[in-house]
Structure 1
Amino acid sequence: MTTTQRAPRHFAVIGAGMAGIACARTLVQAGHQVTVFEKSRSTSGRMATRSSAFGSFDHGAQYFTARDPRFLQALETTPTLCKRWSANSVQVLDELGHVAGPGLSNHDAHWVAVPGMKSLVNGWAAPLEAGGHIELQTRVNRIEADALLAKKWQLRTEGLDGTQHVFSGFDGVLLAIPSAQAQSLLQTSEQEKPWVKQLDQVKVAPCWTLMLAFPQAMQPGLSALGPQWNAARSTHHRIAWLARESSKPKREPIERWTIQASPAWSQEHIHDDASRAEAKLLKAFSEVTGIRAEPAHVDSQRWLYAKTVQPLGKSHLWDAKKGLGVCGDWCLGHRVEDAFVSGLELALAVV
């Protein structure tokens, strides 16, 4: 008896952000087994949310749009995880913080995950995690041929505590990590040298992110500090984006702001310590918003790989003969949807 259906295979997916989880869940839906490896303590990647005593901050992706019908279909499977954010309040500001143009187009609905941006990826990853298919706090240091099984792969990993482990028996290895990290891992593992050259063409800018809380805005008769808009793109040399976190649906009411530095400024100050970067961005925040009050909470995050400047130009890389693949938002751009499409199309190529 013959069949066109291939036997179930076991794939390692490195990275548990949007691209990695989109890839992994698609493979599982197609009947395959996956093990996801993530160096951090949780899934979500740059769709991240950080908690504080004053409420949460979406310190990675701020919102997402949905144009691809496959992304829309995926979102419809978990409708409680997403809400529309009234982005008609988004302004474009000049260097001095003055409105320089009309709000951004409402052609694309602006969505956020609830109660935090991490909720969408975490929700999709939950069945994988419950089934024991996600290895958190596990950094993959090397990809190599399986020592015992022909035509299989094994991964050498390291935990946060320094413990070493080998995971083996994989039919394929799929990298869903930033391009520079994928390039480094492939080089270290002496795999796919042509891909290393392709990945060298990808350019991704860093981003310093500042998080501020102003509980004094909760005083009777005072609904908000500073401007009446809730989000803005800025041409200020230090700041590219500002958003009032408390304006997003299903968020805590205490006034909180997330500020993302411009790619050029972030690159220039990539090696600053956190306190120095925070002080400079706080000064710029005051200049743009007019908010001079002292925040009760100040925090920051330095993203080394944040916004794609030069994408790969294709949704993924896949070598069916070797069983190696690469995906990520940087393949197509920097949007959340780009990450989803990249992970999905790699999985579809695999199956």
Structure 2
Amino acid sequence: MAEQGKPGIAVIGAGLAGGIVARDLAAAGRRVHIVEKSRGAGGRMATRRTPEGLSFDHGAQFFRAHGPDFGAEIAAWAARGLAAPWGADGRFVGAPAMNVPVKALVAGLPLAVGSAVGAITGAPGRWELTLADGGRLGPVAAVLVTAPAPQAATLLAPVAPALAEAAGGVRYAPCLALMLAYPPDALADAPVPAQRPDHGAIAWMAEEASKPGRATGAPRRIVVHATPAWSRAHLEETPEAIAQALLAEAAPLLAASAAPLHAVAHRWRYALVEEPVGRACLWDAESGLGAAGDWCLGGRVEAAYDSGRALARAVLGEASR
């Protein structure tokens, strides 16, 4: 139970890093408030659902553990039915959707979705968040930003220039994603296996039904990710133009006998971390401001997890002193 005498902590972002730091702080008795600009928790461990009932894991395609800490977390998720192995090489996916583990992390915690943060204002010990819709959150003792590095840098620049400078040095490669749905007999392979084709435009393709816990009925759903180079070249085009161009690249690989029933693109502007901060997290104990994300350590799901845990330890370590 949260200790009512302790000031609250605001966490900006409900992806894996934000979910982990919020869970760990709440478990230690801190009052946590999570603010997320999108419609739900997950971040790039994302699942898109359409009005027609289709679902696509259009962000991170899988996760695996390189270290024991994340390995233990995955095992705990699997024991609860929140994750399941997928294929070889230690790959796991959320079950029955990629965003399920993150949703479980923040379950029961105060979470405001659809709330973009416009600014951090106030002073140490009494920070406030100004929301894009005109609302406010605070005062809180600390603000922890787990948004992508460029967005974190923008928020932190007026109140923590040194942290903003560190976040501002991060470099990303974008990724354009395409969500396709086909009639059941339009594709020869059943299901289309996960693959990294040797192709100038296509970096990844997989059929949703190949993952554990996914619906296997019609229509057949495919996620395509473009290469960084192709994504950069087409990044500023309209979603409709991106979908048309990426479908033209993917169609020969899929060899579909019919046109897709659904073809929608998504722009991941901050997808693949190419140049991280090189530290587990950013934390300024004097101001009570910090940041975490995969961009602190490197472009893996595990990096987001490790960074979130590191930031929670930093905050709690300071509090204990």
TM-score by length of 1: 0.83
Asked if the contact 1:54/1:213 (under 8 Å) is kept, the reply is: no
Shift of 1:229: 5.6
Shift of 1:56: 1.6
Supply the distance in 2 between the matched residues of 1:200 and 1:13 (Cα, whole angstroms): 19
Deviations 1:4-44 (A, max 9, x none): x9x73411100001100100000001111100011111111
Deviations 1:142-186 (A, max 9, x none): 11225xxx7321111123xxxx12222211110000000011112
Q: Which amino acid aligns with 1:237?
A: G
Alignment match of 1:157 (pick from 131, 155, 170) = 131
1:5-20 alignment, distance < 5 Å? 8-20=6-18
Deviations 1:170-228 (A, max 9, x none): 111100000000111122xx12212222222210121110011122328xxxxx52487
Deviations 1:260-304 (A, max 9, x none): 011111111111111211111111112333335311121121111
Q: Which amino acid aligns with 1:245?
A: E
Alignment match of 2:96 (pick from 98, 115, 131) = 115
Local SS of the residue matching 1:217: coil
Supply the distance in 2 between the matched residues of 1:151 and 1:125 (Cα, whole angstroms): 24
Supply the distance in 2 between the matched residues of 1:268 and 1:127 (Cα, whole angstroms): 42
Determine whether 1:198 maps to 2:166: yes
Determine whether 1:301 maps to 2:275: no
Determine whether 1:184 maps to 2:154: yes
Match of 1:21 in 2: 19
Q: Which amino acid aligns with 1:259?
A: V
Alignment match of 2:244 (pick from 267, 279, 284) = 279
Supply the distance in 2 between the matched residues of 1:305 and 1:44 (Cα, whole angstroms): 15
Match of 2:117 in 1: 140
Determine whether 1:237 maps to 2:224: no
Asked if the contact 1:54/1:215 (under 8 Å) is kept, the reply is: no
1:1-351 alignment, distance < 5 Å? 8-52=6-50, 53=52, 55-78=54-77, 79=79, 80-86=81-87, 88=88, 106=89, 109-128=90-109, 133-145=110-122, 151-159=125-133, 164-187=134-157, 190-217=158-185, 225-226=188-189, 230-253=193-216, 254=218, 255-351=220-316
**Structure 1 runs not aligned, ≥5 long:** 89-105, 219-223
Local SS of the residue matching 2:184: helix
Asked if the contact 2:15/2:44 (under 8 Å) is kept, the reply is: yes
Shift of 1:54: 6.2
Root-mean-square deviation (Å)? 2.0
Supply the distance in 2 between the matched residues of 1:110 and 1:75 (Cα, whole angstroms): 10
Local SS of the residue matching 1:234: coil
Deviations 1:35-80 (A, max 9, x none): 0011111111111111243632100111110222222333343321
Supply the distance in 2 between the matched residues of 1:82 and 1:155 (Cα, whole angstroms): 34
Q: Which amino acid aligns with 1:44?
A: G
Asked if the contact 1:48/1:117 (under 8 Å) is kept, the reply is: yes
Give the total of aligned pairs: 308
Asked if the contact 1:226/1:290 (under 8 Å) is kept, the reply is: no
Supply the distance in 1 between the matched residues of 2:53 and 2:199 (Cα, whole angstroms): 27
**Structure 2 runs not aligned, ≥5 long:** 317-321
Q: Percent identity?
A: 38
Q: Which amino acid aligns with 1:257?
A: I
Supply the distance in 2 between the matched residues of 1:290 and 1:173 (Cα, whole angstroms): 50
Deviations 1:77-122 (A, max 9, x none): 3321011111x4xxxxxxxxxxxxxxxxx2xx10011111011111
* Worse overlay, 19-28 or 64-73: 64-73
Q: Closer, same or farther in 2 for the Cα pair 1:9/1:67, shift >3 Å? A: farther
Local SS of the residue matching 2:101: helix
Q: Which amino acid aligns with 2:122?
A: A
